Amino acid sequence: MTKVASGYLQPVVVGDLDHATVDTIYDVCPGTRVDGPPEYPQDPATVDLVWGVWRRMALGWAADPTVRHRGSTGGALTALAQYLLATERVEFVLHVRASTVEPAFGEPTLSFSDADVLDGAGSRYGPTAPLLGVRDVLDLGRPFAFIGKPCDIGALRNWARHDPRVDDLVRYCLTPVCGGFGTPAFTRNFLDRIDIDPEAVTALRYRGNGCPGPTRVETVDRVVEQHYLDYWGDDATQWSLPWRCKICPDGIGETADIAASDAWPGGAPTREGSVDDPGTNALIARTAAGQELLEAAERDGALVIEREIGPAEMSVYQPHQVRKKIAVAPRLLGIADEGRIVPRYDRLRLDELVAEQPVEINEAQRHGTRERIRMGKATEPAPRLP
Ligand SMILES: Cc1cc2nc3c(=O)[nH]c(=O)nc-3n(C[C@H](O)[C@H](O)[C@H](O)COP(=O)(O)OP(=O)(O)OC[C@H]3O[C@@H](n4cnc5c(N)ncnc54)[C@H](O)[C@@H]3O)c2cc1C
């Protein structure tokens, strides 16, 4: 897995691939296989058609004001990870921090202390592969928590079918709800707009230090801070996402113990509202372990819970996630129509969701996907070293 000519972090084939390895890749890669949680709870009241299995939804933030400030939103994921270390439920946390090699990327890191965990706070919107060294991490034979995007958690759960150490050692999976990351070209355009040569960047922090906090770019002799909306654009139609993210069957972390998101009505901050926003996470505890962790972290003062919410309110904060969840199944049909590999999915209610939509809308999604594929928008050059 390396930075390829297109600017993405991608796997490059360096030797002969035997059939067994290719089969394993198709079974594990979240680009080809995405499943929901293995078991649904018996109580159907805790399964929402869009939001999946949930035991508790609440608004909250890290109790420590420094963590809340440094965090991407309200620092909840950092606070939970620190709590897991403090209570010795895990020995370390596998997550990411800003890359030390490619400032726009994220890189995997093992955190053994509060300070380490805090160092990784903030969302990395550049290419980031937290599972790069996961087999070495499992070789340590020590219990740990994993924080990764929904696709990363999905990949780890897929890998658990091949490596029993995953279920034994990975005690908690925490995830940011994820609308997708910024394409390398998008980040390059942003740097162009602020007149910074991508090669000159020494540090890039996408958000955090407030909610969302500034996008801060450093070179040896300049520091430029821009608003989150200057990076992403003023509305969702301007987001430039990789194709995989546009057809993502699970941006909401269905296989995590806890998923954490922003809580901006409409899905994006406003320039005025974010001046002194201290940050509030919308939190979804999905498993019994996640629910217990949320309760314990609140009880022991690591997390502040403001109030309970439910799926309807989540949808107010995440309209783009709702739209995508509903659109994914017909988009995947469009991919199949064009003879492309279609990601396999199960237990994500995509077919039930689509059945609730008017046929014309589903057909428009399917047709639009076919058009995009024919226009080359779903095609990337074969990964090539720069
Ligand atoms: C690519 C991306 C897209 C997102 N899209 C949405 C969205 O559509 N809607 C929404 O509400 N929220 C989205 N978020 C989540 C949001 O930005 C916050 O991460 C989330 O609210 C948690 O905030 P926090 O303050 O608790 O996180 P923090 O306490 O700052 O902790 C964040 C944790 O996430 C890990 N992390 C950061 N970036 C990555 C990455 N790229 N890959 C793997 N792990 C990472 C860090 O290592 C850290 O441990 C997205 C985040 C990312 C990374």
Give per-residue pLDDT as tens, 317-365: 999 999 999 999 999 999 999 999 999 999 999 999 999 999 999 999 9
Work out the average pLDDT over 115-144: 98
Which atom of ligand 1 lies at the shortest distance from residue 262's CA?
A: 11
Top mutation candidate among 50, 57, 69, 72 for ligand 1, by most atoms within 8 Å of CB: 72
Query: Residue 34's closest CA among 248, 327, 252?
Result: 248
> What spacing in Å lies between the alpha carbon of 78 and ligand 1's midpoint?
10
What is the model's pTM? 0.98
> What spacing in Å lies between the alpha carbon of 352 and ligand 1's midpoint?
28
For residue 259, give both structure tokens.
């998923």
Nearest CA to ligand 1 atom 17: 123
Phi, psi angles (nearest 5°) of residue 204: -140, 115
pLDDT band at 128 (very low <50, low <70, confident <90, very high): very high
Chain segment 164-207, per-residue pLDDT in tens: 999 999 999 999 999 999 999 999 999 999 999 999 999 999 99
Domain coordinates in residue numbering, the chain: 25-318
> What spacing in Å lies between the alpha carbon of 22 and ligand 1's midpoint?
30
CA 99/CA 88 separation, integer angstroms: 27
> What spacing in Å lies between the alpha carbon of 177 and ligand 1's midpoint?
7
pLDDT value at position 108?
Answer: 98
pLDDT value at position 46?
Answer: 87
> What spacing in Å lies between the alpha carbon of 343 and ligand 1's midpoint?
24
> What spacing in Å lies between the alpha carbon of 178 and ligand 1's midpoint?
7
pLDDT value at position 236?
Answer: 77
Nearest CA to ligand 1 atom 3: 178
pLDDT value at position 319?
Answer: 97
pLDDT value at position 275?
Answer: 87
pLDDT value at position 56?
Answer: 97
| DSSP secondary structure letters along 177-219 | ----PPPHHHHHHHHHHTT--GGG--EEE-S-SSSS--EEEE-
Helices (H), 220-358: 228-232, 243-246, 288-299, 311-317, 319-337, 350-355
> What spacing in Å lies between the alpha carbon of 119 and ligand 1's midpoint?
14
pLDDT value at position 239?
Answer: 86
Query: Residue 199's closest CA among 103, 263, 281, 287?
Result: 103
Nearest CA to ligand 1 atom 1: 181
Is the confidence at residue 43, as pLDDT, over 90?
Answer: no
Is the confidence at residue 45, as pLDDT, over 90?
Answer: no
Which atom of ligand 1 lies at the shortest distance from residue 125's CA?
A: 1
Work out the average pLDDT over 80-107: 98
Top mutation candidate among 123, 303, 309 for ligand 1, by most atoms within 8 Å of CB: 123
Is the confidence at residue 143, as pLDDT, over 90?
Answer: yes
> What spacing in Å lies between the alpha carbon of 355 and ligand 1's midpoint?
31
pLDDT value at position 263?
Answer: 98
Give residue ranges with CB within 6 A of ligand 1.
Answer: 71-78, 95-96, 106, 120-125, 128, 130, 147-149, 152, 176-179, 181, 208, 260-262, 281, 318
pLDDT band at 235 (very low <50, low <70, confident <90, very high): confident
Least confidently predicted of 58-72, 227-241, 252-266, 272-286: 227-241
Nearest CA to ligand 1 atom 4: 178
Work out the average pLDDT over 302-313: 98
pLDDT value at position 72?
Answer: 98
Cβ neighbour number for residue 342 with a 10 Å cutoff:
16
> What spacing in Å lies between the alpha carbon of 124 and ligand 1's midpoint?
7
Nearest CA to ligand 1 atom 44: 148
Mean pLDDT rounded to a whole number for the chain: 96
Which atom of ligand 1 lies at the shortest distance from residue 70's CA?
A: 30
CA 124/CA 106 separation, integer angstroms: 6
Work out the average pLDDT over 116-136: 98
Which atom of ligand 1 lies at the shortest distance from residue 317's CA?
A: 11
Strands 258-261, 170-176: pairing is: parallel
